[in-house]
């Protein structure tokens, strides 16, 4: 763990040397949603491969850039492309960038992802505000020695998704006349998609959407004391009684088309946030 902490601090020091103003909010874009950061006034953009100690994204639909800039004057750091456990990254690697953000002083984290819908009132292209989550990955990025300067051993998870940020996101949907659903996200490890029996099971335990990301980063953000907002783009709807084949091409296509809606919500949230 000491080695990991050292690497995080080294990476944060590299970034601090190269940028003039530290970001307040972190933004993590999911599959096909890289363009949800389209409105950023970019000040610095680093390829992941040029950042010391940073993992490198292996999935084509993820761009692999860390962008520093602002949206309407609100300073942000945006990760265009995240790391997944199904790529073979450990939970510590997946959440490395969140620790770097913590070291940079980031206070809010906005996370977007592409997810399968389990709630049959959803349609492809809908946006779901994540109200809560169920971690079914069997992993946890906080396993191992606790770094007390980063957070407590047993972080409270009774209110992971910040109510204030959620309220602003709901206002954004009203302002832009977008339908926005709310629900519970269940995180699996993937990469195989769900069987009908698994879909039935995860619906029964109370999930509205399912995906292979987000939860490790969110757990670390909570540990780090950040306020969290999560937005899922529903790319396909899985009905266990008539389950259709889901292809990654379709998932990406729907996510790319929905990205401008997600961008509008994010922009409104950042404009409304106190600096
Ligand atoms: N299952 C898991 N992850 C996903 C899905 C799905 O159906 N759609 C988009 N991401």
Residue nearest to atom 7 of ligand 1 (CA): 116
Q: Is the CB of 114 under 6 A from ligand 1?
A: yes
Q: What is the 220 CA–ligand 1 centroid distance (Å)?
A: 22
Mean pLDDT across the chain = 94
Q: Is the CB of 193 under 6 A from ligand 1?
A: yes
**Residue closest to 81 by CA, chosen among 104, 69, 97:** 97
Predicted confidence (pLDDT) per residue in 5-40, tens digit: 999 999 999 999 999 999 999 999 887 777 667 678
What is this structure's pTM? 0.95
Copy the structure tokens of residue 134: 């169920």
Atom of ligand 1 nearest to the CA of 211: 3
Residues in the chain predicted with pLDDT less than 70, given as ranges, are 35-36, 38, 57-63, 275
The three state secondary structure string of the chain is CHHHHHHHHHHHHHHHHHCCCCCCEEEEECCCCHHHHCCCEEEEEEEHHHCCCCCCCCCCCCCCEEEEEEECCEEEEEEECCCCHHHCCCHHHHCHHHHHHHHHCCCEEEEEEEEEECCCCCCCCCEEEEEEEEECCCCCCCCCCCCCCCCCCCCCCCCCECHHHHHHHHHHHHHCCCCEEEEEEEECCCCCCCCHHHHHHHHHCCCCEEECCCHHHHHHHHHCCCEEEEEEEEEEECCHHHCCCCCHHHHHHHHHHHHHHHHHHHHHHHHHCCC
Q: What is the 43 CA–ligand 1 centroid distance (Å)?
A: 33
Question: Would you tell me which CATH number, out of the four given (3.40.50.300, 3.40.190.10, 3.30.70.600, 3.40.50.1580), belongs to the domain 2-272?
Answer: 3.40.50.1580
Atom of ligand 1 nearest to the CA of 246: 7
**Residue closest to 233 by CA, chosen among 76, 96, 123, 105:** 123
Alpha carbon of 30 to those of 99, 112, 118, 239, 254: distances in Å?
18, 5, 19, 23, 12
d(CA 228, CA 218): 7
Q: Is the CB of 116 under 6 A from ligand 1?
A: yes
The rounded Cα 36 to chain-centroid distance in angstroms is 12
Atom of ligand 1 nearest to the CA of 188: 2
Copy the structure tokens of residue 254: 């729907």
> Look-up: residue for tokens 């949800």?
36
d(CA 132, CA 222): 13
Copy the structure tokens of residue 66: 């860390």
Q: Is the CB of 238 under 6 A from ligand 1?
A: yes
Q: Is the CB of 210 under 6 A from ligand 1?
A: yes
- What pLDDT is recorded for position 118? 98
Q: Is the CB of 212 under 6 A from ligand 1?
A: yes
Residue nearest to atom 3 of ligand 1 (CA): 211
- What pLDDT is recorded for position 60? 57
**67 beta partners:** 45, 78
């Amino acid at each position: 763990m000491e080695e990991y902490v050292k690497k995080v601090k080294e990476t944060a020091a590299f970034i601090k040397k190269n940028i003039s103003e530290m970001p307040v909010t972190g933004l993590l874009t999911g599959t096909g949603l890289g363009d949800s950061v389209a409105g950023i006034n970019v000040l610095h953009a680093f390829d992941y491969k040029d950042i010391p100690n940073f993992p490198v994204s292996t999935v084509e639909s993820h761009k692999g850039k860390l962008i520093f800039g602002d949206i309407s004057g609100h300073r942000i750091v945006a990760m265009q492309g995240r790391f997944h456990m199904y790529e073979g990254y450990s939970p510590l690697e997946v959440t490395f960038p969140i620790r770097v953000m913590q070291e940079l002083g980031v206070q809010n984290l906005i996370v977007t992802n592409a997810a399968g819908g389990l709630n049959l009132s959803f349609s492809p292209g809908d946006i779901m505000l994540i109200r809560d989550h169920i971690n079914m990955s069997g992993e946890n990025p906080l396993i191992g020695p606790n770094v007390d300067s980063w957070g407590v051993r047993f972080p409270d998870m009774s209110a992971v998704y910040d109510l204030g940020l959620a309220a602003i996101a709901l206002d954004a949907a009203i302002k832009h006349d977008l339908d926005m659903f709310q629900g519970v996200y269940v995180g699996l490890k993937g990469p195989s998609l769900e069987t009908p029996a698994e879909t039935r099971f995860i619906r029964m335990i109370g999930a509205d959407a399912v995906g292979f990301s987000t939860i490790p980063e969110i757990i670390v953000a909570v540990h780090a004391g950040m306020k969290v907002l999560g937005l899922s783009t529903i790319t396909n709807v899985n009905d266990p009684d008539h389950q259709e084949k889901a292809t990654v091409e379709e998932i990406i296509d729907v996510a790319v088309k929905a990205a401008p809606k997600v961008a509008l919500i994010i922009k409104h949230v950042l404009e409304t946030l106190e600096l």
